[in-house]
């Protein structure tokens, strides 16, 4: 990193502007050199699994900002990714199901606004389900995108098909290669999207980690005996705590390889002098139930499915420490744009995690998707540490759930599921607030 770039970074911090809607990408008054942006997206990683990633924790967790109540507003891969990159709820992106990426407006995205502001851009690994690999993604200069799992998965690298031995290693090496390529033009900031398929099924660990001994501690929700107060679709599943622990351990073994690649990326950034100039955002598209309430899946409104890791790192610009605010993934894009000295060129539902007002709650939403099995459409207002209200729309039937998270953090007792009105919350007000949230548009209108 040159002295000029150090001065530019300092000027950028001084010139951060509040998030506002604007007709075009608007630069902050002083930002001659913007940060590089590395966005790392895991696939199906809940909160606890990343604790096995010691290099990543030492790098991003120790000196970065750790959002302990980060949530995926739609816990389903492609819809969630549409929200991460746009800063909008899926009822506004239109990507309600896994196969709906064709309706996505790529001109209302983080990569659009960064590219328009002069960034070099690249994407490696998984981007969206169903994306035609040989097709250049809009606003991305170079790509190495993936379909499939871990071993000899199908990649397309700038138009050429490749089937590497292990996808995690290949994705990491593509990222370090992009860093080298972009470093040749040191005056141009870059954006790299690194989409690791881990720890998604089939949980194929790299051979050196296939038999490593790991442990997993289950939680009270995995030992729930009485699920009669849960919707019918939940009661159909019967996954045990032991089965959930086996899945968690298999997931963590795949994350050990991601951890290796994160360390290689950190070292490459340091070797090229780019480390201090790079904003790193590390997250997962959604979590995954590991036997909680008998469930084996994402797609559901409970904590194992919606709680995700979210780490931000840019020393001197992003304050270090743990942050307990509710941090929905729709806030990622506006936060990155603000740190780059930009305002979004379109209306976003999210707000900056650094300067925006703290949320009291957030909307969670999911639409039935035949690709995802038996989970019906549902919507929820969620205030971590306070309450959660859920409506499940199973045909003409509406199942309602309410959890007092202060007394019942593991969502074991549905206060609307006992047939008695005593102690029940005001359902009419909750339902009205949820109905408004399901059609909201823009940060001023949305929870």
Average pLDDT over residues 123-138: 93
Look at residues 411, 127, 382 and name the one whose alpha carbon lies nearest to residue 289. 411
Confidence at residue 101, expressed as pLDDT on a 0 to 100 scale: 87
Predicted confidence at residue 18, as pLDDT, reads: 33
Question: Residue 19's pLDDT is what?
Answer: 31
- Does residue 73 have a pLDDT over 50? yes
In the beta sheet, which residues pair with residue 227?
none
Average pLDDT over residues 216-222: 95
Mean pLDDT for the stretch of residues 88-96: 97
Q: Where are the domains of the chain?
A: 34-350
On whether the CB atoms of residues 293 and 221 are closer than 8 A, the answer is yes
In this predicted structure, the answer to whether residue 135 has a pLDDT above a threshold of 80 is yes
Q: What is the pLDDT of residue 242?
A: 97
Residue 13 has pLDDT above 70, yes or no: no
Kindly list the distances between the CA atom of residue 178 and the CA atoms of 123, 194, 377, 429, in Å, as whole numbers in the listed order.
9, 11, 40, 51
| Cα–Cα distance, 250 to 116 (Å, whole number) | 41
DSSP per position, 266-316: HHHHHHTT-GGGEEEEEEES----SSGGG---SSSSSHHHHB--EEEE-TT
**pLDDT in the model for residue 422:** 60
The answer on pLDDT for 218 being more than 80 is yes
Please state whether the predicted TM-score (pTM) of the whole model is above 0.85.
Answer: yes
Report pLDDT digits (tens) over 386-435.
Answer: 999 999 998 888 999 999 999 999 999 999 987 676 667 889 999 999 99
Would you identify the CATH topology of the domain 34-350? Alkaline Phosphatase, subunit A (3.40.720)
Burial class (CB in 10 A: 0-12, 13-18, 19+), 383: middle
Tens-digit pLDDT profile for residues 350-372: 999 999 889 999 999 999 998 88
Inter-residue contact 84 to 285 (CB < 8 Å): yes
User: Six-digit token pair at 231?
Assistant: 């919707």
pLDDT at res. 351: 97
pLDDT above 90 covers a percentage of the chain that reads: 85
Tell me the C-alpha distance between 337 and 111, whole Å: 10
pLDDT digits (tens, 9 = 90+) for 29-72: 444 579 999 999 999 999 899 999 999 999 999 999 999 999 99
Overall average pLDDT of the 232-259 stretch: 98
Helix axes 332-339, 77-86, angle to 10 degrees: 30
- Mean pLDDT, the chain, rounded, equals 92
């Amino acid at each position: 990193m040159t002295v000029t770039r150090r001065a530019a970074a300092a000027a950028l911090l001084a010139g951060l502007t509040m998030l506002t809607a604007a007709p075009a990408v608007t630069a902050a008054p002083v930002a001659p050199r913007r940060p590089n942006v590395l966005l790392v997206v895991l696939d199906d990683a809940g909160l606890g699994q990343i604790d096995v990633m010691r290099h990543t924790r030492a790098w991003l967790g120790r000196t970065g900002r750790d959002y302990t109540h980060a949530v995926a507003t739609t816990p389903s891969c492609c819809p969630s990714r549409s929200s991460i990159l746009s800063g909008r709820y899926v009822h506004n992106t239109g990507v309600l199901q896994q196969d709906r990426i064709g309706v996505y407006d790529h001109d209302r995205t983080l990569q659009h606004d960064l590219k328009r502001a002069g960034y070099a851009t690249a994407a490696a690994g998984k981007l969206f389900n169903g994306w035609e690999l040989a097709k250049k993604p809009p606003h991305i200069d170079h790509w190495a995108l993936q379909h499939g799992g871990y071993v000899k998965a199908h990649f397309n690298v700038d138009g050429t098909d490749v089937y590497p031995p292990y996808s995690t290693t290949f994705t990491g090496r593509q990222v370090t290669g992009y860093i080298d390529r972009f470093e040749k033009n040191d005056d141009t900031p870059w954006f790299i999207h690194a989409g690791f398929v881990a720890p998604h099924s089939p949980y194929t660990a790299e051979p050196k980690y296939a038999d490593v001994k790991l442990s997993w501690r289950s939680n009270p929700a995995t030992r729930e005996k009485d699920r009669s107060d849960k919707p019918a679709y939940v009661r159909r599943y019967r996954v045990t705590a032991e089965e959930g622990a086996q899945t968690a351990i298999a997931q963590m073994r795949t994350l050990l390889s991601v951890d290796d690649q994160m360390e290689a990326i950190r070292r490459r950034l340091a070797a090229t002098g780019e480390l201090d100039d790079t904003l790193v955002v590390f997250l997962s598209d959604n979590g995954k139930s590991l036997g909680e309430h008998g469930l084996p899946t994402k797609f559901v409104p409970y904590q194992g499915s919606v709680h995700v890791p979210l780490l931000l790192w840019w020393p001197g610009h992003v304050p270090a420490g743990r942050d307990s605010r509710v941090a929905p993934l729709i806030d990622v894009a506006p936060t990155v744009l603000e740190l780059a000295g930009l305002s979004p060129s379109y209306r976003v539902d999210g707000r900056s995690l650094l300067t925006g007002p703290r949320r009291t709650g957030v909307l969670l939403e999911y639409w039935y998707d035949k690709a995802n099995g038996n989970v019906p459409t549902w919507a929820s207002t969620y205030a971590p540490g306070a309450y959660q209200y859920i409506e499940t729309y199973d045909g003409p039937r509406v199942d309602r759930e309410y959890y007092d998270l202060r007394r019942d953090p593991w969502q074991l007792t549905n206060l609307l599921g006992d047939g008695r009105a005593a102690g029940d919350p005001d359902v009419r007000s909750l339902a009205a607030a949820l109905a408004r949230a399901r059609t909201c548009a823009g940060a001023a209108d949305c929870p």
